[in-house]
Amino acid sequence: MTPPADQSAIKRAATPLPLDEALDDLRDQIASFRFVLDAPGVEEARTTQQDLLNQLDDYLLPRVRRKDAPLLVVLSGSTGAGKSTLVNTLVGERVSATGVLRPTTSSPILVCHPDDADWWLDERYVLPGFGRVPGPAPDAVVGDQLVIMKNDVLPKGLALLDSPDVDSVFEDHHEFASQFLSAADVWICVTTAARYADALVWRLLHRARDHGATLGVVLSRVPEGGEEIVEHFTEMLKENGLEQAAQFVIPETTVSGGMLPSEAADEVQVWLGGISEDEDGRADVIRSTLGGVLDTFRTRVPELAAKVEEQVALRTMLREEVEAAYATGLAELDEATRNGSLLRGEVLARWQDFAGTGDLERALHAGRGQSGHRGSSRRKRSPARVRALKAALRSALESLIMASAERSAEEVVNRWQSRPAGAMLLAGREEALDRASAELSRRVTRAVSAWQDHIAELIRTEGVTKRSVAKFVSYDDEALALVLMVGLFGFGTSEIAVEGGTSAVPQRLLKALFGAESLRSMSAKARADLRGRIGMLFDEEAIRFGQVLDGAGVPDETTPVQLYQATYNLEVAR
């Protein structure tokens, strides 16, 4: 996995922290986000995230804060492997249920020396999410509670936990088994001569290897003459990188009172006694498991960060889809306001009525010495045809903008629906998002009216009349603003036949009045202002989709960087 480009900056920023504080910080970073967007491998990433949190809460933080805590040995395996029978045998009494009904372990059983019972009954320490019940307790006790059994046979400083079956028919048993394994100082995987090659067994063993656990493996119910089975199992362990695991063989034998003959588990008993009674051996186990688990964080957390980066990339892609759809709509709108397509129907009729009946001519006032005197200042109310043309232009432009906004919203929805991540975000929102927002019409009306006023202001402030005609002509600002709009919208560029050869009237008139350079400047400013106003409207429309992304809690660009930083801080703390 490739870390961010600014890893050097991360290293410079890192300051040494106590190990427990570095782990606390890492835990906060891992818990700070969710995998929201549907993508390949996202379920595995969610599992990895939860596994890391479980291991931090249930093993690393408690163990780092209290290195003198008793060792936790978790026995795990598939249904019927004989875990409960082995636990009973090791402690010399029936503390865990056995039998033909599966699963037999309906509640997690933890067996410890009486001197350690207070430690295990305290919910602040290992497995803080689980309640505690002093044993013996009825088999009906189930759920997120540990049954704590006292036993004098077990050495002080060691506890055995009979975990629910990893292949239990009950879903919560799977979760408990996984959580217990994350909390273990030592794992003992129990399998049988008949099922040792099952994929489930090797998934469990691979997890132990990958999580850095101190590992013991028990092959039980080996029939007489089963040397080939033992040799094959040993070879499989070696092929899977598990040759360092402590290996034990229990022959097929009679089970009585939920227990094996005591000698059947002697080797396991000696091994457990050695790692708990000898202080150096116990310290070695703690160092080995703790170091092994921390070593796995060097790859597991960056791998998780890489999956977060995929979420960030998906978020960016979905935002880009929004931007692209509205940018396309804006470009199409820009073209539609240039090519004359806007000047049809009502607008064309109102223009011809204005230009062909003398109102346009009256907007220009011939008279020596009246240069710069605006007709608009002499009129308190524009002629009816001017008002009608202005209203027609405004209505046509508003309709064009609304139609483009509708298409852009629909396009975003189509693009998102074509991607699993986008379709998930849209679920239940399609009808609200595949059209323009309810308030857009009102905002468009305000924007277009403000733009028309801006054009009139341009005519007043920048429409300096050419010196050659200034002493003969004065003009009406509002009327010429409409002429400029008609010219901007491409009058004469479309295929519409315009009567009387007046197709070039706007450009000829305006060029004659203001000159080519002044006209280009005003036209560019008017068009840029219109585009800016429409762009702002479209940006506001696009915000709706950004709010969906933000509201879903998709991680942003800072999240993986903070994970890399926390991982580096952990290495410094070690």
pLDDT tens for each residue of 163-212: 876 655 445 556 677 778 878 889 999 999 998 988 888 888 888 787 76
Q: What is the pLDDT of residue 273?
A: 85
Residue 503 banded pLDDT, cuts 50, 70, 90: very low
d(CA 329, CA 562): 37
Mean pLDDT calculated for residue range 553-563: 93
Residues 64 and 75 in one domain: no
Residues 515-537: tens digit of each pLDDT:
888 888 889 999 999 999 999 99
Tell me which H or E stretch contains 39: none
Residues 303 and 411 in one domain: no
Residues 549 and 456 in one domain: yes
Q: What is the pLDDT of residue 101?
A: 37
Q: Is residue 332 part of a domain?
A: no
Q: Is 471 exposed, middle or buried (0-12, 13-18, 19+ CB in 10 A)?
A: middle
Half-sphere exposure of 491 (CA within 13 A, CB side): 28
Q: Is residue 321 part of a domain?
A: no
The answer, yes or no, to whether residue 397 has pLDDT greater than 80, is: yes
Q: Return the SS3 of 407.
A: helix
Domain count, the chain: 3
Residue 231 banded pLDDT, cuts 50, 70, 90: very high
For residue 344, what are its two tokens? 């049809």
Residues 30 and 179 in one domain: no
Residue 96 banded pLDDT, cuts 50, 70, 90: confident
Return the higher-pLDDT residue of 470 and 408: 408
Q: Is residue 559 part of a domain?
A: no
Residues 261 and 287 in one domain: no
Q: Is residue 562 part of a domain?
A: no
Note the Cα 549 to chain centre separation in Å.
9
Of 93-102, 316-325, 541-550, the least confident: 93-102
The pairing of beta strand 364-366 with beta strand 473-475: antiparallel
For residue 499, what are its two tokens? 């009567």
Residue 505 banded pLDDT, cuts 50, 70, 90: low
CB crowding 83-119: b at 16 or more within 10 Å, else e: bbbbbbbbbebbbbbbeeeebbbbbbbbbbbeebbeb
Residues 427-444: tens digit of each pLDDT:
989 889 999 999 999 999
For residue 276, what are its two tokens? 């708990």
Residues 288 and 271 in one domain: no
The answer, yes or no, to whether residue 562 has pLDDT greater than 70, is: yes
H-helix segments, 32-127: 42-55, 61-65, 83-91, 117-121
Residues 253 and 264 in one domain: yes
Q: Is residue 324 part of a domain?
A: no
Query: Residue 126's domain is classified under what CATH number?
Result: 3.40.50.300
Residues 54 and 119 in one domain: no
Q: Mean of the per-residue pLDDT values for the chain?
A: 83
Provide Rg for the chain, Cα atoms.
Answer: 40
The answer, yes or no, to whether residue 321 has pLDDT greater than 60, is: yes
Tell me how far CA of residue 45 lies from CA of 51, 408, 570, in angstroms.
10, 34, 21
The answer, yes or no, to whether residue 302 has pLDDT greater than 50, is: yes
Q: Is residue 347 part of a domain?
A: yes
Residue 104 banded pLDDT, cuts 50, 70, 90: very low
| Host domain of residue 18 | 1-68+282-311+568-574
Residues 40 and 130 in one domain: no
Q: Of all residues in the chain, what percent are helix, strand and coil, respectively (each to 5)?
A: 60, 10, 30
For residue 99, what are its two tokens? 């039998």
Residues 351 and 439 in one domain: yes
Mean pLDDT calculated for residue range 482-504: 65
Last residue of a domain, one of 260, 277, 294: 277
Residues 153 and 51 in one domain: no
Q: Is residue 561 part of a domain?
A: no
Helix axes 42-55, 279-336, angle to 10 degrees: 140
Residues 419 and 442 in one domain: yes
Q: What is the pLDDT of residue 138?
A: 58
Q: Is residue 320 part of a domain?
A: no
For residue 497, what are its two tokens? 């036949």
